[in-house]
C-alpha cells in the first residue's frame, strides 16, 4: 500500500483567515498536507520533507513593523513553492523585488487575464479570456524580483501571478482556495500534480488502514479507555480503535441525564450493534442532585465537568490497568496550539473532558488528530455509521443544562426534551435539518399568561434557535420558512404540557452566542 503521508505539502501560515481552507483544498485533491507557523525552522522543514510549500496569505503588509518574515534560505530549498497573496508579496520582497501600496484596495471578485499558461495555468484559457478570481489585498507587486516573469494580470494588479524563470517558484495575488475563484481547483491541482509531482493518494480508506496499523503498534497489548458522547468525533475514535485492537478497548458512555429525548437508548443500541465493548453508566441521579438549585451557567459547566471526571475515573479504576486514554481531537484543535496569530487565535474550543489526561496520567491516543471535520464524517460513513448519526448537529457537552436557563429540574428537562424533539422532527421532515448548522429549543425560566379553551394559563416560554454557520465562530439565524415555524409553534403548544408561548431567536453571532446558557 502506498504510504499516504509520503507525498506531503507544507503550508506556512502567515495568519490568513483562509489558511485552513488551503489545507482543505489540498486534502480534497487527495494530497496530504499540514499547516505550520511561518517561523518553523529550516531544519524542521527539511525533516518534514515536503513535496511542495505553500505560503499562505496574511493580514499584514510586508513593510509593517514586526510583519511575519522568512529567511532567504527558504527559497534555496530544492522544493517547489507557491506564494498566495501575502505569501507572494513576501516572496517578492525577500528575493529583491518591490511591493507597494495599491492606489486602492482590491477586495472581492476580479477578472484575471492569463499572459502565459505554462505549468501553473495549464489547461486554462490564456488572454484575452477573463477568469473570475477573488482578491483581497492592499499592496501589490511593483517590481518583480530578478529572474521572475509575470504570468497574469488584472485591471488593478499588473502582476497578478508570477513565476521564476528556471525554478519552480510561483506566486499568485488572488486566492485559489476560495470558492469564488472559479479556476481555483485547477490552479492548485496544477501546482500539486504538475509542479510538485504529487499523486492523489490521500483518501479516507487508506487513512483507516494506516490509522489502524498505527494504533495496533502504539497500544501493543495495552488497555485503552475512551469516553463516548455519542457525537461523531468520539464515536469514530472508538470505532477506529475497536477495528485495531477490539476488546482491549473499553468505551465508557455516561448518561448525565442531560441528553436529548431517546438519545441514550439510540446511541447505546448503535454502539453495541457496531460491536463495541461499551460500559454504560446511568449517572442521571448524581448529576441532577449536584445541579439542584444552581442557576449560574459557568457553575453548571464546572459541576458537570467535575462530576464527569469523577465518574470516569471510578469506572476506569473498575476496569483496572488502563494504559491509554483515547480522545477525538481534530486537526483544527491541533493547529490552534501552534499557529501564529491568524484565524487560530480567535477560535474558542470547548473541552468537554478538560484536564482528564493530566489527572489520570494516561498516554493519549488521538487517531483523528490530522483530520478535518468533513474528513471525519467520510471516515464515519466508511466505518458504517448511519447518516443520521454522522450528520447530527453539534450538541454541547453540558447538554440540556445550558439550554435550560436557571435551575435544572426533572420537570424542566422533560418539557425541553419534548419541545426539542418536535423541533428536530419538523426540521428533518421539511428537509431543513441538513441545511442548517444547528437547531434546538431553549427553555426560559419565566412564565407568561395565555388562554386555552376558556381558561387562562400561566406557563413556560420556549425559544427556538436555528443558525447557519461554517465553523460556529460566527453564525446567522436561519431564515426558516414561516410554515415550519408555524408548525413547530403549533405542535409545541398543543403537545407539550407546560408551554404556552414559542419565540424564534433572530440574533446573530456575534454579538449573541449560539447557545443561550
Ligand atoms: P457558542 O454558544 O459559544 O457555541 O456560540 C459555539 C458552538 O459550540 C457548541 N458548544 C459546545 N460544544 N462542548 C461542546 O462540544 C461544550 O461545552 C459546548 N458549548 C457550546 C455550541 O453548541 C455551538 O455549536
Choose one of 350, 376, 470 to mutate for the ligand 1 pocket test, by most ligand atoms within 8 angstroms of C-beta.
Answer: 350
3 state SS of 392: coil
Asked whether 205 and 212 are in contact (CB, 8 A), the reply is no
Query: Whose C-alpha lies nearest to ligand 1, atom 10?
Result: 396
CA 83 to CA 71: how far, in whole Å?
14
Q: Which helix (H) or strand (E) segment is 345 a member of?
A: helix 342-346
Q: How far is the CA of 400 from the centre of ligand 1 (A)?
A: 12
Asked whether 1 and 27 are in contact (CB, 8 A), the reply is no
What's the pLDDT at 443? 98
Q: Give me the DSSP letters along 60-86.
A: S-TTSTT-----GGGGGSSS-EEEETH
CA distances from 388 to 266, 300, 428 (A): 11, 29, 10
Q: How far is the CA of 467 from the centre of ligand 1 (A)?
A: 13
Cβ neighbours for 81, distance < 8 A, ≥ 6 positions apart? 52, 53, 54, 55, 75, 91, 168, 169, 170
Q: How far is the CA of 31 from the centre of ligand 1 (A)?
A: 31
Q: For the chain, which domains are there?
A: 3-195 (3.40.50.880), 204-390 (3.40.50.620), 409-504 (3.30.300.10)
Choose one of 298, 329, 515, 517 to mutate for the ligand 1 pocket test, by most ligand atoms within 8 angstroms of C-beta.
Answer: 515
Choose one of 353, 394, 466 to mutate for the ligand 1 pocket test, by most ligand atoms within 8 angstroms of C-beta.
Answer: 394
CA 56 to CA 33: how far, in whole Å?
13
Helices 204-219 & 373-382 angle (0-180, nearest 10) = 90
What's the pLDDT at 357? 63
CA 158 to CA 180: how far, in whole Å?
21
Q: How far is the CA of 404 from the centre of ligand 1 (A)?
A: 15
What's the pLDDT at 1? 45
Q: What are the phi and psi torsion angles at 230 (to 5°)?
A: 95, -10
What's the pLDDT at 120? 98
Around 517, how many Cα atoms within 13 Å sit in the side-chain half-sphere?
A: 11
Q: Taken in order 96, 101, 103, 105, is the CA torsion positive or negative?
A: positive
Around 127, how many Cα atoms within 13 Å sit in the side-chain half-sphere?
A: 9
What's the pLDDT at 471? 78
Q: Taken in order 68, 371, 21, 229, is the CA torsion positive or negative?
A: negative
Nearest ligand 1 atom to the CA of 516 is 2
Q: Give me the DSSP letters along 419-471.
A: HHHHHHHHHHHTT-GGGSSEEEEEEEEEEEEEEETTEEEEEEEEEEEEEE-SS
Q: How far is the CA of 23 from the centre of ligand 1 (A)?
A: 24
Cβ neighbours for 289, distance < 8 A, ≥ 6 positions apart? none
C-alpha triplet 280, 284, 386: angle, nearest 5°: 50
Closest of 122, 113, 123 to residue 161, by C-alpha: 113
CA 211 to CA 376: how far, in whole Å?
13
What's the pLDDT at 246? 95
Tally Cβ neighbours within 10 Å of residue 265. 11
C-alpha triplet 264, 418, 254: angle, nearest 5°: 20
Nearest ligand 1 atom to the CA of 469 is 24
Q: How far is the CA of 473 from the centre of ligand 1 (A)?
A: 10
What's the pLDDT at 339? 45
What's the pLDDT at 346? 38
C-alpha triplet 189, 18, 80: angle, nearest 5°: 40
The binding-site residues of ligand 1, defined as CB within 6 angstroms of any ligand atom, are 350, 352, 394, 396-398, 438, 472, 509, 513-515
Query: Whose C-alpha lies nearest to ligand 1, atom 12?
Result: 396
Nearest ligand 1 atom to the CA of 437 is 24
What residues are annotated to the active site?
Answer: 85, 175, 177
What's the pLDDT at 355? 60
What's the pLDDT at 337? 46
Blockwise average pLDDT, block size 10, the chain, 517 residues: 80 92 94 94 96 95 92 97 97 96 82 97 97 92 97 94 98 95 97 97 94 97 93 95 96 96 93 93 97 96 94 92 93 64 39 59 91 93 92 94 97 98 98 97 96 91 95 91 98 97 96 95
Nearest ligand 1 atom to the CA of 229 is 15
**Which DSSP category does 145 fall into?**
P
Query: Whose C-alpha lies nearest to ligand 1, atom 3?
Result: 513
What's the pLDDT at 251? 96
End-to-end CA, the chain: 49
Q: Which helix (H) or strand (E) segment is 306 a member of?
A: helix 297-319
Query: Whose C-alpha lies nearest to ligand 1, atom 9?
Result: 396
Query: Whose C-alpha lies nearest to ligand 1, atom 19?
Result: 396
Q: For cell 443558525, what's the residue?
A: 467
Amino acid at each position: 500500500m502506498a504510504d499516504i503521508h509520503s507525498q506531503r505539502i507544507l503550508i506556512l501560515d502567515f495568519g490568513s483567515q483562509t489558511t485552513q481552507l488551503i489545507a482543505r483544498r489540498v486534502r480534497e485533491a487527495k494530497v496530504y498536507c499540514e499547516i505550520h507557523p511561518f517561523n518553523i525552522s529550516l531544519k524542521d522543514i527539511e525533516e518534514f520533507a515536503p513535496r511542495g510549500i505553500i505560503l499562505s496569505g496574511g493580514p499584514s503588509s510586508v513593510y509593517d513593523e514586526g510583519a511575519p518574515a522568512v529567511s532567504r534560505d527558504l527559497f534555496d530549498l530544492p522544493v517547489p513553492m507557491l506564494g498566495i497573496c501575502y505569501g507572494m508579496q513576501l516572496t517578492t520582497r525577500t528575493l529583491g523585488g518591490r511591493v507597494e501600496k495599491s492606489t486602492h484596495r482590491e477586495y472581492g471578485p476580479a477578472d484575471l487575464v492569463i499572459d502565459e499558461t505554462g505549468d501553473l495555468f495549464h489547461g486554462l484559457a490564456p488572454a484575452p479570456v477573463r477568469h473570475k478570481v477573488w482578491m483581497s489585498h492592499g499592496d501589490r507587486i511593483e517590481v518583480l524580483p530578478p529572474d521572475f516573469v509575470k504570468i497574469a494580470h488584472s485591471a488593478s494588479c499588473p502582476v497578478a501571478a508570477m513565476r521564476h524563470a528556471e525554478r519552480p517558484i510561483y506566486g499568485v495575488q488572488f486566492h485559489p482556495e476560495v470558492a469564488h475563484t472559479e479556476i481555483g481547483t485547477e490552479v492548485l491541482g496544477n501546482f500539486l500534480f504538475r509542479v510538485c509531482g504529487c499523486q492523489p493518494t490521500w483518501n479516507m480508506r487508506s487513512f483507516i488502514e494506516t490509522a489502524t496499523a498505527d494504533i495496533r503498534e502504539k497500544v501493543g497489548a495495552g488497555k485503552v479507555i475512551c469516553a463516548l458522547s455519542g457525537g461523531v468525533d468520539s464515536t469514530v475514535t472508538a470505532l477506529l480503535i475497536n477495528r485495531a485492537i477490539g476488546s482491549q478497548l473499553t468505551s465508557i458512555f455516561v448518561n448525565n441525564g442531560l441528553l436529548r429525548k431517546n438519545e441514550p437508548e439510540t446511541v447505546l443500541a448503535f454502539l453495541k450493534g457496531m460491536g463495541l465493548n461499551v460500559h454504560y453508566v446511568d449517572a442521571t441521579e448524581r448529576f441532577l442532585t449536584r445541579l439542584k438549585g444552581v442557576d449560574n451557567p459557568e457553575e453548571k459547566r464546572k459541576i458537570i465537568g467535575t462530576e464527569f471526571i469523577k465518574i470516569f475515573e471510578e469506572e476506569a479504576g473498575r476496569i483496572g490497568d488502563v494504559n491509554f486514554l483515547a480522545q477525538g481531537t481534530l486537526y483544527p484543535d491541533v493547529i490552534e496550539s501552534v499557529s501564529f496569530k491568524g484565524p487560530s487565535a480567535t477560535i474558542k474550543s470547548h473541552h468537554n473532558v478538560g484536564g482528564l489526561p493530566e489527572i489520570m496520567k494516561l498516554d493519549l491516543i488521538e487517531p483523528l488528530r490530522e483530520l478535518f471535520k468533513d474528513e471525519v464524517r467520510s471516515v464515519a460513513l466508511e466505518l458504517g455509521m448511519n447518516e443520521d448519526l454522522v450528520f447530527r448537529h453539534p450538541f454541547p457537552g453540558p447538554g440540556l443544562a445550558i439550554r435550560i436557563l436557571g435551575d435544572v429540574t426533572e420537570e424542566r428537562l422533560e418539557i425541553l426534551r419534548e419541545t426539542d424533539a418536535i423541533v428536530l422532527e419538523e426540521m428533518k421532515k421539511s428537509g431543513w435539518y441538513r441545511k442548517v448548522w444547528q437547531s434546538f429549543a431553549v427553555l426560559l425560566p419565566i412564565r407568561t399568561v395565555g388562554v386555552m379553551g376558556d381558561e387562562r394559563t400561566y406557563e413556560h416560554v420556549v425559544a427556538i434557535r436555528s443558525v447557519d454557520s461554517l465553523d460556529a465562530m460566527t453564525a446567522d439565524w436561519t431564515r426558516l420558512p414561516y410554515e415550519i415555524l408555524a408548525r413547530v409553534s403549533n405542535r409545541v403548544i398543543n403537545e407539550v404540557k407546560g408551554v404556552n408561548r414559542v419565540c424564534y431567536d433572530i440574533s446573530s453571532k456575534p454579538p449573541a452566542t449560539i447557545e443561550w446558557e
